[in-house]
Chains A and B, each alone.
Chain A
Amino acid sequence: MTATTTGARPSTNGRGPGDKGGTAKREIDYLGILLEGRAFIALIVLIIIFALLSDSFLTFNNLLTMTKHVAYNAILAIGMLFVILKGGIDLSVGSTVGLSGVIAGVLLQGWQIDAFGVVIYPPVWVVVLCSLAVGTLVGYVNGLLVTKFSVAPFIATLGMLYVARGAALLISNGSTYPRLGGDPELGNTGFGIIGGGRLFGIPTAIWIMVVFALVAAFVLKNTPFGRWVYSTGGNERAAELSGVPVRRVKLRVYMISGFCAATTGLIISSELTSAAPQLGESFELNAIAAVVIGGAALTGGRGNVRGVLIGAFVIGFLSDGLVIVGVSTFWQIAIKGAVIILAVMLDQAQQRIKRSKNAALAASSHSEPTTTPSTS
Chain B
Amino acid sequence: MKRQILAATVAVITIVGLAGCSGSSGGSGGSGGSGESSGEAGGLISIITPAQENPFFKAEADAAKAEAEKLGYETSVASHDDDPNKQSELIDSAISKGAKAIILDNAGADASIGPIKKAEEAGVPVFLIDREINENGIAKAQIVANNAQGAAAVAESFVAALPEGGKYIELTGKESDTNAGVRSEAYASVISQYPNLVSAAKETANWSQDEAFQKVETLLQRDPNVQGIIAGNDTMALGAVAAVESAGLLDKIKIVGFDGSPDAVQAIKDGKLVATGLQPAVLISQLAVQQADKFIRTGETGEEEKQSIDCVVIDAANAEKYTSFALED
Contact = CB atoms under 8 A, between A and B. Distances in A.
A281 B222 CA distance: 27
B91 to A, nearest CB: 23
B246 A324 contact: no
A320 interface: yes
Contact of B263 (A167, A169, A170, A178): A178
Contacts of A276: 209-210, 235
A137 B18 CA distance: 20
Contacts of A61: 221
Interface residues on A, range: 35 or more
Interface stretch (B50-58, B160-168, B290-298): B50-58
Nearest to B172: A329
Secondary structure at chain B's binding surface: helix, strand, loop or mixed?
Answer: helix
Nearest to A69: B214
B55 A175 contact: yes
Interface residues of B, number: 41
Interface string B6-26: 110010011001101100000
Contacts of A340: none
B255 interface: no
Interface string A179-211: 100000000000000001000000000000000
Contact of B266 (A62, A179, A271): A179
B85 interface: no
B113 to A, nearest CB: 28
Contact of B242 (A62, A273, A280): A273
A176 B55 contact: yes
A301 interface: no
A61 B220 CA distance: 10
Contact of B203 (A166, A174, A323): A323
B246 A271 contact: yes
15 contacts: A56-B221, A59-B221, A65-B221, A69-B218, A133-B6, A167-B13, A167-B17, A176-B235, A178-B262, A178-B266, A273-B242, A274-B242, A278-B53, A279-B209, A323-B215
Interface string B121-150: 000000000000000000000000000000
Interface in B196-223: 201, 203-204, 208-210, 213-215, 217-223
Nearest to B213: A272
B17 A171 contact: yes
